[in-house]
Amino acid sequence: MKQETIVCKSIKKSFTNGGKSIEVLHDINLTTYEKEMIMLMGPSGSGKTTLLSIIGGLLDQDSGECTILGQSINQLEEDIKTEFRGKNIGFLFQHFILVPTLTAVENAVVPLLCLGAPRQEAFSRASEILEQLGLGDQLHKKPGQLSGGEQQRVALARGFIHNPAIILCDEPTSFLDIDRGKKVMDILQRMKDETNATIIVVTHDQRILPFADRIVHIEDGVITQKS
Ligand SMILES: Nc1ncnc2c1ncn2[C@@H]1O[C@H](COP(=O)(O)OP(=O)(O)O)[C@@H](O)[C@H]1O
Ligand SMILES: [Mg+2]
C-alpha cells in the first residue's frame, strides 16, 4: 500500500479583516500519498494559497490537524519546524522571492548549502537542473536580468533541488507559455517518479491537467469534488 504523506483533518482557518473574522477554510479533509501529483483547482479567493500555506507550516490552522510525513508540523518548536520544512518540503509560491544580489545558480543552490551539501556537488546539481529548465545560458545572471518566466524557473529549481518528499507549487506555470509550462510539468513528473515525492500544484491552467494523478476542487473553503 502507498504511504500517506499529508493528512489534513477538519482544517479550519479564519482571517480577521477590519475587525471582522471571516472563515476562509471551513472543514478541509485531504489525504495524499507518495508518488502522487495532485492538482488543486478553484476560483480566486477560494482558499487554495491558505491551504497550501498551512500544509507547508507557514501558517497555523485554527483547528483540525495537519500531519506531514507523520509529523504534526504546527506543534513543532519554531527552529525544529524550520529544519523539518527545509529538509522535507519544497515550495514554489506565486510571489516567489529570489535574492536579487545572487545569480540564478547561487539562488538555486541555497537549500542544498543550508542542508550542508558539499559546495562543488551542490553547484553542479544546481547548474544541471537549471540547464534542464532551459536556463543553461543564464546561470550567472541576477534576477533583475531575467524575465518573469525565467525567474519563476529559478525559483522552481530552488524549490526541489534538495529532493523534498513534499513539493508545494502555487500556480507554477502562470507566467509560462504552453511549451515552457509543459517542460516544467515534465520535470515535476520526473521528480515524482524518481523520488516518490508528493506534489501539490495549485492551478487554473487547464493545459497542465493531464499531468494530474488526482484533481481536487475547492470552492469557498470547502473541498467540493475529488476525482
Ligand atoms: N493574511 C490574510 N488576511 C486576511 N485575509 C486573507 C489573508 N490571506 C487570505 N485572505 C483571504 O482569504 C481568502 C482566501 O484567500 P487565498 O487562500 O489566497 O485564496 P486563493 O489562493 O484560492 O485565491 C480570500 O478572501 C482572501 O482575501
Ligand atoms: Mg492563491
Q: Which one of 24, 40, 203, 224 would you pick to mutate in the ligand 1 pocket, going by the greatest count of ligand atoms within 8 A of its CB?
A: 24
Residue 225 pLDDT > 80: no
Smallest CA-to-CA distance from 108 within 80, 77, 79, 132 is with 132
Task: Give the number of domains in the chain.
Answer: 1
Cβ(4)–Cβ(31) below 8 Å: yes
Helix residue spans in 115-203 (DSSP H) = 119-132, 148-160, 178-195
The span from the CA of 24 to the CA of 169, in Å, is: 20
- Report the residue count for the chain: 227
Q: Which amino acid is at 13?
A: K
pLDDT band at 187; cut points 50, 70, 90: confident
Atom of ligand 1 minimally distant from the CA of 42: 22
Considering only CA atoms, which residue is closest to atom 9 of ligand 1? 50
Find the helix or strand (DSSP H, E) in which 20 lies.
strand 20-33
C-alpha cell at 162: 534538495
If you average pLDDT over every residue of the chain, what do you get? 92
Q: Which domain holds residue 91?
A: 4-226
CA of residue 50 to ligand 1 center, whole Å: 6
* Residue list, ligand 1 pocket, CB within 6 Å: 15, 17, 24, 42, 44-50
pLDDT band at 183; cut points 50, 70, 90: confident
pTM: 0.91
Collect all residues with Cβ–Cβ distance below 8 Å to 40 and sequence separation of at least 6: 48, 51, 52, 200, 201, 202, 203, 216, 218
C-alpha cell at 110: 541555497
Q: At what angle do helices 104-114 and 148-160 cross, to 10 degrees?
A: 20
Three-state SS for 33-69 is ECCEEEEEECCCCCCHHHHHHHHCCCCCCCEEEEEEC
CA of residue 75 to ligand 2 center, whole Å: 25
Output the domain CATH number for residue 33: 3.40.50.300
At residue 226, the pLDDT reads 67
Residue 175 pLDDT > 90: no
